[in-house]
């Protein structure tokens, strides 16, 4: 650090001629300049230029295996990397771009779960109540809303019985039609509710029907009004064979493919809740940040969505409310993948490293998961960089009254981590170039503090030796 200071201080003093010789650390913090989101994203890309190069290299190496779609990687609340590859439709050869809209398939389940939690927040749904409290005709008095959320209900896959019992081939079925078949045919459970975990698309179709019954809105209407519009997810919607979209939206929708052949919708595309949400990587990042900052539901309720469910015997299941859960090499991972109709999706939130990886794919190649794993490895293994970025962005973004306390908390939490001096230099250079001279000086002051030195009494430290 001493050598770093010897190089760093003269550089900054040269670039920031307004530096005064008598500032206390608290006085410097009281004059912090706040940045816009665009400024912060640009700063993130500047100080992470080597990481972005590694992400680029990993993408080029892994996407060549057949990936067609959009990717976004973010860390510490800043987008580091986006790429778009391939064709939205192999018949028209229209390129995929940042506005291309993909079917999320099973990654849609997180929005179904959030819809249920929003109604629970209002006291309209009891997670431990029987599903028959909300849909009385169903023959499943022992199945609770929590069972449906955690995939411990025992409901069989609706794709089989819908294909078998749906007779009106000229009309596409809805969620209510699925519920009607289950009630009329008394579809049997596969196992005693709560006794074990078996992934069930049917459970989330029923949950969407519960949302419709309680709210009086269609599920697409409810999600738009209560999730997509409030979060500014302007390119996100629920589309089924029973819901039409406008021409602008339709032009942005990419097609799912098997090889180079476009896959058409079937009667099984009618029900939603288990699938049916269409979105872009940019909109999903807005969703990620809404989760990060608890914009829709209280902290306690949202955190419960990221906790493992349990069977009746107390055994943990690897699923929360709309999310799969596991421990990755970099800590807790909250995620969901999707596969449907020529689409594949991955939405991954590495909670402990504050890293998000999103990938949307519109063909049946096997490239998506190796690509996501490769990008995750590159970005997560830069742990020292993450701590440094925490400090940098705290300095340029936080409220002046709390910034000193926040920095000390970061250092206490990561006591064994080192500061990436190269990234500090990049940040200071960027701040000077963009005329954020006070913020640049804040980083110099921090460097002194980390060295255990007093800036006020040692202004010339960088000039010595």
Residues belonging to the active site: 106
The C-alpha atoms of residue 282 and residue 99 are separated, in whole angstroms, by 8
Q: How far is CA 155 from the centre of its chain?
A: 28
Torsion sign over Cα 38, 111, 342, 89: negative
Six-digit token pair at 157? 């896959």
Overall size of the chain counted in residues: 465
Place of tokens 């078949």: 181
Whether the CB-CB separation of 423 and 439 falls below 8 Å is answered with: no
Per-residue three-class SS string for the chain: CHHHHHHHHHHHHHHCCCCCCCCCHHHHHCCCCCCCHHHHHHHHHHHCHHHHHHHHHHHHHHHCCCCCEEEEEEECCEEEEEEEECEEECCCCEECCCCCEEECHHHHHHHHHHHHHHHHHCCCCCCCCEHHHCCCCCCCCCCEHHHHHHCCCCCCCHHHHHHHHCCCCCCCCCHHHHHHHHHHCCCCCCCCCCCCCCCCHHHHHHHHHHHHHHHCCCHHHHHHHHHHCCCCCCCCEECCCCCCCCHHHHHHECCCEECCEECCCCHHHCCCCCCCEEECHHHHHHHHHHHHCCCCCCHHHHHHHCCCEECCCCCEECECCCCEEEEECCEEEEEEEEEECCEEEEEEEEHHHCEEEEEEECCCCCCHHHHHHHHHHHHHCCHHHHHHHHHHHHHHHCCCCCHHHHHHHHHHHCCCCCCCHHHHHHHHHHHHHCCCHHHHHHHHHHHHHHHCCCCCCCCCHHHCC
> Distance of CA 336 to CAs 115, 252, 360, Å?
17, 23, 12
> Distance of CA 27 to CAs 105, 441, 445, Å?
52, 12, 11
Phi/psi region, residue 319 (left: phi>0; alpha: psi -120 to 50; beta: rest), is beta
């Amino acid at each position: 650090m001493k050598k770093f200071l010897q190089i760093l201080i003269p550089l900054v003093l040269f670039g920031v001629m307004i530096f005064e010789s008598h500032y206390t650390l608290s006085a410097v913090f009281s004059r912090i300049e706040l940045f816009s989101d665009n400024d912060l994203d640009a700063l993130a890309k500047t100080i992470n230029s080597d990481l972005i190069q590694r992400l680029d290299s990993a993408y080029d190496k892994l996407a060549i295996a057949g990936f067609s779609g959009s990717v976004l990687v973010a860390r510490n609340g800043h987008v580091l990397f986006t790429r778009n590859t391939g064709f939205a439709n192999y018949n028209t050869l229209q390129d995929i771009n940042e506005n291309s809209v993909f079917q999320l398939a099973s990654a849609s389940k997180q929005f179904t779960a959030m819809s249920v939690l929003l109604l629970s927040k209002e006291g309209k749904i009891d997670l431990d109540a029987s599903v028959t409290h909300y849909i009385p005709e169903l023959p499943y008095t022992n199945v609770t809303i929590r069972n449906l959320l955690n995939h411990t209900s025992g409901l069989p896959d609706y794709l089989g019985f819908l294909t078998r019992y749906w007779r009106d081939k000229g009309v596409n079925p809805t969620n209510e039609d699925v519920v009607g078949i289950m009630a009329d045919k008394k579809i049997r459970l596969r196992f005693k509710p709560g006794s074990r975990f078996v992934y069930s698309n049917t459970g989330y179709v029923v949950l969407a029907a519960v949302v419709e019954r309680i709210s009086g809105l269609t599920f697409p209407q409810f999600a738009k009004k209560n999730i997509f519009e409030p979060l500014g997810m302007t390119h996100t919607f629920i589309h089924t064979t029973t819901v039409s979209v406008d021409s602008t939206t339709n032009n942005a929708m990419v097609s799912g493919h098997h090889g180079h052949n476009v896959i058409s919708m079937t009667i099984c595309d009618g029900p939603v809740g288990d699938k049916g949400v269409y979105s872009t990587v940019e909109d999903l990042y807005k969703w990620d940040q809404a989760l990060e900052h608890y914009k829709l539901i209280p902290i306690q309720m949202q955190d419960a969505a990221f906790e493992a469910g349990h069977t009746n015997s107390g055994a943990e299941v690897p699923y929360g409310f709309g999310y799969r859960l596991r421990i990755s090499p970099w800590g807790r991972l909250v995620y969901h993948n999707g596969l449907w109709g020529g689409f594949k999706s991955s939405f991954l939130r590495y909670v402990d490293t504050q890293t998000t990886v999103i990938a949307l794919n519109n063909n049946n190649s096997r490239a998506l998961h190796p690509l996501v794993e490769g990008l995750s490895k590159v970005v997560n293994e830069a742990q020292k960089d993450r701590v440094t970025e925490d400090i940098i962005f705290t300095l340029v973004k936080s409220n002046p009254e709390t910034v000193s306390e926040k920095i000390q908390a970061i250092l206490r939490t990561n006591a064994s981590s080192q500061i990436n001096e190269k990234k500090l230099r990049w940040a200071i250079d960027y701040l000077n170039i963009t005329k954020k001279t006070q913020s640049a000086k804040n980083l110099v002051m921090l460097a002194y503090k980390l060295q255990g030195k007093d800036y006020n009494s040692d202004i010339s430290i960088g000039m010595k030796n």
